[in-house]
Amino acid sequence: MSYDILLYPRRPGQEWAEVVEADEDETADDDLQDETALAEGVATFGRIEARLREALTGPVETWVAEETGGDVFGELSETDSGLQVELFHGSAAVSFPYWDRDDLAGFHERVRRAVTIVAEETGYEPYDPQTGATFDG
């Protein structure tokens, strides 16, 4: 099982329920075929990846989109901890398995740092679907 923090673009005062509902709508095929959107998404993911590589302590694996047609621009996984970051067309996610850890406080700090990096690079706000509220770390 994993704990997920989702990140979305959000207007000031917009309710989370509206944001989440909009995310459940299918992405238009035209948006998925947009070369410019792909290039911008991959570039954003590249910035996220570079910053995460500096912030994370374990080895990482990445995948980056190379062609249009999908809604994922990139994925990064820290193999030792299971921390995963994904950048989608119009949203992002930071996921992590919950199990006993020797340094729980240190792991939570890595999660908070990953969420902060994704939020800063995308301009998205973090949402905790487990609480139905803004993720506050």
Domain hosting residue 63, numbered range: 2-134
Task: Could you list the beta-strand ranges (E) of the chain.
Answer: 2-8, 60-64, 72-78, 84-88, 91-97, 125-128, 133-134
CA distance 1 to 22: 25
- In this prediction, residue 71 carries a pLDDT of 81
Number of domains in the chain: 1
User: What's the order of all strands across the beta sheet hosting 72-78?
Assistant: 60-64, 72-78, 84-88, 91-97, 2-8, 125-128, 133-134
Q: Which residues contact 26 (CB under 8 A, 6 or more apart)?
A: none
* CATH label of the domain that carries residue 52: 3.30.1400
- In this prediction, residue 26 carries a pLDDT of 65
pLDDT tens string 26-75: 665 566 577 888 899 999 999 999 999 999 988 999 999 988 777 889 99
Tokens of 120: 């800063």
pLDDT tens string 80-103: 888 999 999 899 999 988 776 787
- In this prediction, residue 14 carries a pLDDT of 95
